[in-house]
Structure 1
Amino acid sequence: MKNRELAHILLVHPPVTSPAAPPWVLANAAGKLSGTGICLEQYDANLDFFLNHFLTSENLTGLMGVIEKRKMQGGYKEVDTYTASLLANLATNHGHWESKIAAVGRSLKILGTEDFYRPGLCMTALKEINDLLALGSLAFYPSRIRWNGFSNPAVRDWTEVGAFLEDQETNPFLSLCQGRLAHRIAHPGLGLLILTVCAPDQLPAALTVARFTKKLRSDLHVALLGHDMLLKDAADYVDSLLPETDLSRLFELVDRLGGSSALEQSAVPDFTGLPLKDYLAPAVVLPFRALSDSRSGLIPPSIFLTILKEQVHDTGADGFLIEDDRLTPAYMAEMAARMAGEQPFFCLGLTCPLDDTAGPENMAAARQAGLRLIQWHDPAGLLEHLTKSLWDVSRAEVWNHVVIPAGPESTLVRGLIRFVGSNPNIAHSWVRRPPHRRLSENKIFFSKIKEGENYNH
């Protein structure tokens, strides 16, 4: 299945998302395709972009030359305050930036080793990496590459997308296509390219790859796979749009390639084709999303436990981050009951709306099932009830990470900010983020401005 000589389907996860964890959408698609008889290859272009393409001393040194050339040609005449400050810093501290570039490998290594758990080293490494991403982005101004995102405010609507896709000066993904992807696309046995998109900031790179591929191989079928509302305006750039909630179109494409159209609807994600040890985290932590079809309800905890054990066996995973709001501390407590005193050999993290349902009994049992982290979002209810929930979680020795919506502050939000700011022993970490827009409201994603957004590992 992983034989390069037999690959018929290439699954690509494009930049830009965090390189700290393997992509769920890619692995989920691979799992669904596992029973078709078609050979496939998984390629995390996002991870490759960070590790082997952009954040290398050779590339960053070359980009310093590009920046100097653009500056001499007057390419930075009317820039924003942040960019002007960065350019001035580069001009006056050139040697300092050269030292940062020379140490980029060490900074990346810290995030993938036990040094990650040393706060001073970890935060310094993250700052160095973010600084170098900002520096490298200057070469593609006004494009901006971040740890977990991409923006280009000059591309305001879909009429301007086409020019961006082929603009060597502002598109940082063209060189990735030329240097890291072209040989994969040129493989004569390749019959289908699927680009998996799970976040708006991946669309610029995904469409760049699609345009590059069609120019290189006009005969190759190119598809985008993701949320239907995320992809709906991209139909002119690919051959097929494949909603992740309805795989019937994917079945049809596989059938054309000569494989079985009976895809594994109940198959679990297949992470085995990804370089799990290379992600910028000190342990292999796999993401998990929907644990069942929303129409059929949540799978029983006993089955979920079996799935996790199988994943650990297949991948050597140390833990899982569950991105499914239906899996609550109460569900985890029920899973603990199914374990009958068995000690978990993996850790779990949950993402949950912040409410008053945690409870000390549920939390004590949930920790026995391996729960070590809860990422809270969308706080709702009475402040005193929410702070009690955070207390209950902290007493169970589970890490509280609180995501507080940015924007206009309600009485609840103001009170919650005061509480988390003054109680680091309870709210162990917290961040403010803009509320997620409904996908139907996203007309174009390239111009997202994220100034002030916190960087998170």
Structure 2
Amino acid sequence: MKILLIFPPSWHPSQPYLSLPSLTAFLRQSGVCDVVQRDINIELLDVLLTEKTCGEFYQRIVDKLRRMDTMRAAPHWGAAPGEREKRQALVHAVETIPDIMKKVESAKRTLRSEGFYDLDRYIESINVVNEVLGIISTLYYPSSLTALNNDMRYSVYSSQEIFKALDNEEENIFLNLYKDYFLPSILEFSPKLVGISITSTSQIIPGLTLAKLIKDRNKEVHITIGGSVFTKLIENLKKVDSLFSIVDSFVVFEGEHALLELAGQVDGKRDFKKVPNLIYRENNATRINEPFYAEDLNRLPTPDFDGLPLRLYHAPASVLPVQTSRGCYYRKCAFCNLHLDHRNFRLRKADLLLEDINKLSQKYHTPYFFFTDESVPVNQLREISQGLLENKWDIKWMGGVRFENALNDDALGKMYKSGCQKLVFGLESYNQRVLDLMKKGIKADIVKRILDGCLKVGIAFHLYIIIGFPTETEKEALETLDFVLRKEYLDSPGFSCLPSLFGMEKDSPITQNPSEYGLASIMAPGGEDLGLGYFYEVVQGMSPEEAERMYQYVISQLSESLCPFPYNYSMSDGLLYITHNKGKCFH
């Protein structure tokens, strides 16, 4: 039986995502030989970022302008809203493409070679890539494309809006690109089961566009959608029947056993009630197969990246994602719903993880690893570090951690010696009152002590902060800003910090008890049958509008002090830069 697993646009082009390699490894271990994984995100960028493709887009934009001008000359012509802006964008593209298209191949080569480590060339190359994508995507104005994202005027939180986007050849950037470059090879492979991983809202329209194109040409293929986005929309899927016209099923939570059983049923009796974690339609009703299944991480194989085009990613070396655990061991942060992506917290044994790292490092010729856990427990970090040191492997790694008291100088020192280059922390705020209200379970003095410890041993760090948590005042937000702009942090190699504006996310603890957080009300946005968040009104602290202004101010202050490249642009690029600058390259 042929299975095709797809990772759609848009996602960061620096490294592969872990979902498909994890599923592929499990299916192959279970005897499913004919499984192919494709990162259409990076494949598409490789197609677009060529002089030839730019030239083709140039000609199509010229033709579109001619048609527009012919229509403008017709009697009784009335300009549609936005027509002038659209024409200006197309004219700008025609003027710009001939020069910029000559730079695009060189930019790609730079990002994939040692030229990557020349910061000026790195920044110039990323700017060229994004400028090219932005300019050629004016063909679909007002839609736009960057290396990291796509933007359309259709809301991804409304099934009605999504369906308008799926068939709109004028504005859906992906429709003709898929038809021209990807659909033929997908249909030629003749899969019986296609799995599409949608892990970010930026992948919803691109992923569903591809699903519909495949379904329109082959009704027999079973299309299933997996990933964290629709795991958060289980209740919504009960009410949105229309999605099942282009998708046969959704796999929520974890997908290894689900996909294996689904493949068996698609190839056999089609008794879908036997497939764990599946949502599907049967007898005009939506079925949800519960209780939901959680994988035993210690029975899962090492991820398998075979088939992914590792040389196409925009980096000179592979930074491979691995997981030491699934779920969040803390699970109490008031603003967070990430813990809902997994049913419970589980660890992979350290010896198995070390085996994963060794196998992957040898097979794919890289020392670079990114632990993608929500946060790696300190004891797990100690065991991994000890194992790496005992084996004397030249591994360079980074991962997400919490500000735990157990993260002392001894632990940090051992981690650094084992190859830890950088740690990623969710600081959120440096004001203790706000931290306590967030239920972060951390103390400001511990935060300072741990970051000082990182500086002492030579581990870089990244800080996430949140602006506008309910009841937060401007003074408290500025307290956090002052903390992250400390000179010793700014002067430390590899330091990065990204602020986000507070958004009230579906199923986060704060939604269960709004009054505790000084909220007058919370409201679901109208027309969003696939909504992932809420509007809210505050009784005290910054209003949403004031928080937005403070957020913009914080961004401006950080931008003055921190160059976004490479550390704020890409975690994995930053890992490569830190290691390179220490003169410890892998051979």
**Which residue is equivalent to 1:395?**
456
Match of residue 334, structure 1, among 383, 387, 398: 383
Q: Tell me the CA shift for residue 16 of structure 1.
A: 0.8
Q: Tell me the CA shift for residue 238 of structure 1.
A: 0.4
Kindly provide the amino acid, as one letter, of the partner of residue 108 in structure 1. K
**Which residue is equivalent to 2:16?**
22
**Which residue is equivalent to 1:350?**
399
> Does 2:101 match 1:101?
yes
> Does 2:231 match 1:229?
yes
The 1-side partners of 2:529 and 2:456 are apart by: 44
Q: Deviations over 1:203-246 (max 9, x none)?
A: 11111111100111111111112134356444442011112425
> Does 2:261 match 1:252?
yes
Q: Tell me the CA shift for residue 355 of structure 1.
A: 5.9
Indicate the SS of the match to 2:140. coil
The 2-side partners of 1:89 and 1:138 are apart by: 6
Describe how 1:82-231 pairs up with structure 2 within 5 A.
Answer: 91=91, 96-155=96-155, 157-187=158-188, 189-227=190-228, 228-230=230-232
Indicate the SS of the match to 2:4. strand
**Which residue is equivalent to 2:312?**
278
The 2-side partners of 1:435 and 1:351 are apart by: 20
Kindly provide the amino acid, as one letter, of the partner of residue 304 in structure 1. L
Q: Tell me the CA shift for residue 92 of structure 1.
A: 6.6
The 2-side partners of 1:340 and 1:229 are apart by: 38
Q: Which piece of structure 1 moves more, 17-26 or 339-348?
A: 339-348
**Preserved contact between residue 350 and residue 374 of structure 1 (Cα < 8 Å):** yes
Which blocks of at least 5 consecutive residues in structure 1 are unaligned?
A: 1-6
**Preserved contact between residue 356 and residue 388 of structure 1 (Cα < 8 Å):** no
Indicate the SS of the match to 1:139. helix
Match of residue 430, structure 1, among 490, 497, 512: 497
Q: Tell me the CA shift for residue 91 of structure 1.
A: 4.7
Against the structure 1 CA distance between its residues 226 and 92, is the aligned structure 2 distance closer, same or farther, given a 3 Å change threshold? closer
Q: Tell me the CA shift for residue 291 of structure 1.
A: 2.7
Indicate the SS of the match to 2:325. coil
Q: Tell me the CA shift for residue 112 of structure 1.
A: 1.7
Give the number of the structure whose alpha-carbon radius of gyration is greater. Answer: 2
The 1-side partners of 2:194 and 2:181 are apart by: 15
The 2-side partners of 1:213 and 1:419 are apart by: 51
**Preserved contact between residue 358 and residue 393 of structure 1 (Cα < 8 Å):** no
**Which residue is equivalent to 1:373?**
422
Indicate the SS of the match to 1:403. strand
Which blocks of at least 5 consecutive residues in structure 2 are unaligned?
A: 73-77, 238-242, 269-274, 277-294, 328-342, 429-434, 436-441, 508-523, 534-547, 556-563, 571-587
Kindly provide the amino acid, as one letter, of the partner of residue 37 in structure 2. Q
**Preserved contact between residue 229 and residue 439 of structure 1 (Cα < 8 Å):** no
Indicate the SS of the match to 2:462. strand
Q: Deviations over 1:122-142 (max 9, x none)?
A: 112112222222222322122
Q: Deviations over 1:47-100 (max 9, x none)?
A: 111111x222233333344445256467996559xx95x976875796554322
The 2-side partners of 1:325 and 1:111 are apart by: 28
Match of residue 7, structure 2, among 10, 13, 18: 13
Against the structure 1 CA distance between its residues 187 and 32, is the aligned structure 2 distance closer, same or farther, given a 3 Å change threshold? same
Indicate the SS of the match to 1:376. strand
Against the structure 1 CA distance between its residues 422 and 120, is the aligned structure 2 distance closer, same or farther, given a 3 Å change threshold? farther
Against the structure 1 CA distance between its residues 436 and 50, is the aligned structure 2 distance closer, same or farther, given a 3 Å change threshold? farther
**Preserved contact between residue 333 and residue 369 of structure 1 (Cα < 8 Å):** no
> Does 2:359 match 1:313?
no
TM-score (norm 1): 0.84
Q: Name the structure, 1 or 2, with higher relative contact order (CA <8 Å, separation 6+).
A: 1
RMSD over aligned CA atoms reads 3.6
Kindly provide the amino acid, as one letter, of the partner of residue 399 in structure 2. L
Kindly provide the amino acid, as one letter, of the partner of residue 322 in structure 2. F
The 1-side partners of 2:498 and 2:87 are apart by: 28
Against the structure 1 CA distance between its residues 412 and 333, is the aligned structure 2 distance closer, same or farther, given a 3 Å change threshold? farther
Kindly provide the amino acid, as one letter, of the partner of residue 392 in structure 2. Q
The 2-side partners of 1:446 and 1:272 are apart by: 34
The 2-side partners of 1:316 and 1:16 are apart by: 27
Kindly provide the amino acid, as one letter, of the partner of residue 386 in structure 1. V
> Does 2:36 match 1:41?
yes
Q: Deviations over 1:237-294 (max 9, x none)?
A: 20111124255542332213559x9999522321122121221112111112463576
Against the structure 1 CA distance between its residues 113 and 119, is the aligned structure 2 distance closer, same or farther, given a 3 Å change threshold? same
The 2-side partners of 1:329 and 1:247 are apart by: 27
Match of residue 58, structure 1, among 52, 74, 95: 52
Kindly provide the amino acid, as one letter, of the partner of residue 264 in structure 2. D
Kindly provide the amino acid, as one letter, of the partner of residue 161 in structure 1. I
Against the structure 1 CA distance between its residues 320 and 254, is the aligned structure 2 distance closer, same or farther, given a 3 Å change threshold? same
Indicate the SS of the match to 2:188. coil
**Preserved contact between residue 382 and residue 412 of structure 1 (Cα < 8 Å):** no
Kindly provide the amino acid, as one letter, of the partner of residue 267 in structure 1. P
The 1-side partners of 2:313 and 2:186 are apart by: 24
The 2-side partners of 1:395 and 1:443 are apart by: 50
**Preserved contact between residue 383 and residue 415 of structure 1 (Cα < 8 Å):** no
**Which residue is equivalent to 1:362?**
411
> Does 2:239 match 1:238?
no
The 2-side partners of 1:225 and 1:61 are apart by: 36
Q: Deviations over 1:348-392 (max 9, x none)?
A: 111234566533221111112221122222434454442332221
Indicate the SS of the match to 1:187. helix
Against the structure 1 CA distance between its residues 97 and 90, is the aligned structure 2 distance closer, same or farther, given a 3 Å change threshold? farther
Indicate the SS of the match to 1:34. helix
**Which residue is equivalent to 2:569?**
456
Against the structure 1 CA distance between its residues 129 and 188, is the aligned structure 2 distance closer, same or farther, given a 3 Å change threshold? closer
The 1-side partners of 2:121 and 2:483 are apart by: 28
Indicate the SS of the match to 1:305. helix
Against the structure 1 CA distance between its residues 197 and 88, is the aligned structure 2 distance closer, same or farther, given a 3 Å change threshold? same
Q: Which piece of structure 1 moves more, 376-385 or 169-178?
A: 376-385
4+ aligned runs moved over 6 Å, structure 1: 74-77, 261-264, 450-455
The 2-side partners of 1:66 and 1:194 are apart by: 33
Against the structure 1 CA distance between its residues 284 and 221, is the aligned structure 2 distance closer, same or farther, given a 3 Å change threshold? same
